């Protein structure tokens, strides 16, 4: 039987269960959680029947908060997302309606930066391909595995030198990698070379790491021309959002050898991944969000004072 929320507690709507969030006893004692995903009703019907008085919505990047959803939530006053990115939320509509929005801030920045470096190492050293080579018995049958390449000394271009991008840069300094970057504006607090043009940054990089947010300006920013500028020895790493890269062009570039390889934690149509990528040994694939850890995040770890829109 579906559990009824307590009427004496403020309602909190959750459309899909954020996988990193802990619905433990302390949390349940403070909120009457409306778990839309547990209801047999279609989402619009559930929202109309049960969530019209809910003042708060908790979501992850997997939940699209559109104008149509907001229409069904007339009492909504705040949205808290467990992600750093906000492209799944209609921010202009939230501003128009006076709905505040808060994100996870820098809670996951270290984890994502670790993942970016790990993906770069995995692509260069052919970690996944080597693992498959051993597991399938090919080492004993065929002999030595093809050599990989070192990370040390590689020129790294970072697109988006924010909380995550800066942490990536600091980690790669330890590998002796020259760092340069592109961002909306030049950062006066850092000494890395700045490129106002992503093409020029790419042309001067061996590894291009995408750490920026997905916006109208960055959608498909990494297109065929950028991939060609990266070159046949270039590596592309994406820990931003999938749609920053023109995925069809990336698939073609990898299959044709226009770039050496890619490490991808995000995809354009998650959880769907282009089938062509599944058979390529020069690509490392990671399901978005799996890089976060350790364990599940307690509700106290998400900063509710990081309001970013009104």
pLDDT 10s digits, 178-210: 999 999 999 999 999 999 999 999 999 999 999
Residue 235 lies in a domain: yes
Instruction: Write down the pLDDT at residue 69.
Output: 96
Q: What pLDDT does residue 20 have?
A: 57
Q: Domain check: are 164 and 266 in the same one? A: yes
Residue from 35, 241, 247, 268 carrying the catalytic annotation: 241
Q: What is the CATH number of the domain that holds 20?
A: 3.40.50.720
Residues 90 and 213 occupy one common structural domain: no
Average pLDDT over residues 128-156: 92
* Residue 168 in tokens: 């990536």
How many folded domains does the chain comprise?
2
Active site residue 268: no
pLDDT of 305 > 90? The answer is no
Do 187 and 102 lie in one domain? The reply is: no
Could you tell me what percent of the chain has a pLDDT over 90?
A: 72
Q: Determine which helix (DSSP H) or strand (DSSP E) holds 245, and give its type and residue range.
A: none
Evaluate whether residue 260 is within a structural domain.
yes
Q: Are residues 50 and 124 in the same domain?
A: no
- Active-site residue, 288 included: yes
- The end-to-end CA distance of the chain, in Å, is 38
What pTM value is reported for the model? 0.82
Exposed/middle/buried for 189, CB within 10 Å: 0-12, 13-18, 19+?
A: exposed
Query: Is residue 87 included in any domain, yes or no?
Result: yes
Tens digits of residue pLDDT in 160-184: 999 999 999 999 999 999 999 999 9
Is the residue at 1 inside a domain?
no
Asked if 124 and 24 sit in the same domain, the reply is: no
pLDDT number for residue 60: 85
Percent of the chain having pLDDT more than 70? 87
Instruction: Evaluate whether residue 4 is within a structural domain.
Output: no
Q: Catalytic residue at 200?
A: no
| 281 and 187 share one domain | yes
d(CA 7, CA 15): 19
Same domain, 163 and 237: yes
- Domain span at residue 27 reads 11-107+294-309
Of 171, 270, 276, 296, which residue is the catalytic one?
Answer: 270
pLDDT-based confidence at 299, cuts 50/70/90? very low
Judgement on whether residues 210 and 125 belong to the same structural domain of the protein:
yes
Determine the pLDDT at residue 164.
95
- Whether residue 119 sits in one domain with residue 46: no
Does residue 6 lie in a domain region?
A: no
Average pLDDT in the chain: 88
Residue 3 in domain: no
Residues 136, 252 share a domain: yes
| Selected residue with higher pLDDT from 90 and 9 | 90
The reported pLDDT for the residue numbered 308 is 45
9, 133, 134, 153 from 142: Cα distances, Å = 65, 9, 10, 31
pLDDT of residue 117: 97
In which band, very low, low, confident or very high, does the pLDDT at 31 lie, cut at 50, 70 and 90?
confident
Q: Which of 234, 211, 200 is nearest to 162 (CA)?
A: 211
Q: Are residues 172 and 194 in the same domain?
A: yes
Catalytic residue among 35, 167, 260, 288: 288
On whether both 82 and 118 belong to a single domain, the answer is: no
CA distances from 98 to 76, 88, 91, 101, 172 (A): 9, 18, 10, 10, 42
């Amino acid at each position: 039987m579906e559990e009824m929320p307590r009427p004496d507690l403020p309602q909190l709507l959750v459309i899909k269960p954020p996988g990193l969030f802990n619905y433990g006893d302390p949390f349940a004692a403070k909120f009457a959680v409306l778990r839309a995903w547990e209801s047999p009703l279609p989402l619009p019907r559930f929202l109309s029947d049960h969530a019209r008085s809910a003042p708060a919505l908790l979501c992850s990047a997997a939940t699209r908060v559109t104008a149509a959803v907001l229409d069904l939530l007339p009492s909504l006053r705040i949205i808290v997302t467990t992600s750093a990115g906000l492209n799944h939320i209609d921010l202009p509509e939230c501003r128009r309606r006076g709905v505040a929005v808060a994100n996870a801030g820098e809670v996951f920045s270290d984890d994502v930066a670790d993942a970016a470096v790990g993906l770069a190492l995995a692509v260069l050293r052919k970690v996944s391909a080597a693992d498959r080579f051993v597991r399938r018995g090919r080492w004993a049958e065929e002999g030595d595995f093809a050599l990989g390449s070192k990370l040390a000394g590689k020129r790294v271009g970072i697109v988006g030198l924010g909380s995550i991008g800066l942490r990536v840069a600091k980690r790669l300094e330890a590998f002796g990698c020259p760092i340069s970057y592109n961002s909306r504006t030049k950062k006066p607090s850092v000494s890395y070379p700045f490129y106002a043009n992503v093409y020029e940054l790419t042309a001067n990089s061996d590894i291009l790491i995408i750490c920026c947010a997905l916006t109208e300006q960055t959608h498909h920013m990494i297109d065929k021309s950028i991939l060609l500028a990266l070159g046949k020895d270039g590596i592309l790493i994406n820990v931003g959002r999938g749609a920053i890269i023109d995925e069809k062009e990336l698939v073609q570039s990898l299959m044709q050898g226009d770039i050496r390889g890619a490490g991808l934690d995000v995809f354009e149509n998650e959880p769907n991944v282009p089938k062509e990528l599944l058979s390529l040994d020069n690509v490392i694939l990671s399901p978005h969000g799996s890089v976060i850890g350790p364990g599940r995040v307690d509700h106290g770890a998400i900063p509710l004072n990081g309001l970013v829109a009104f």
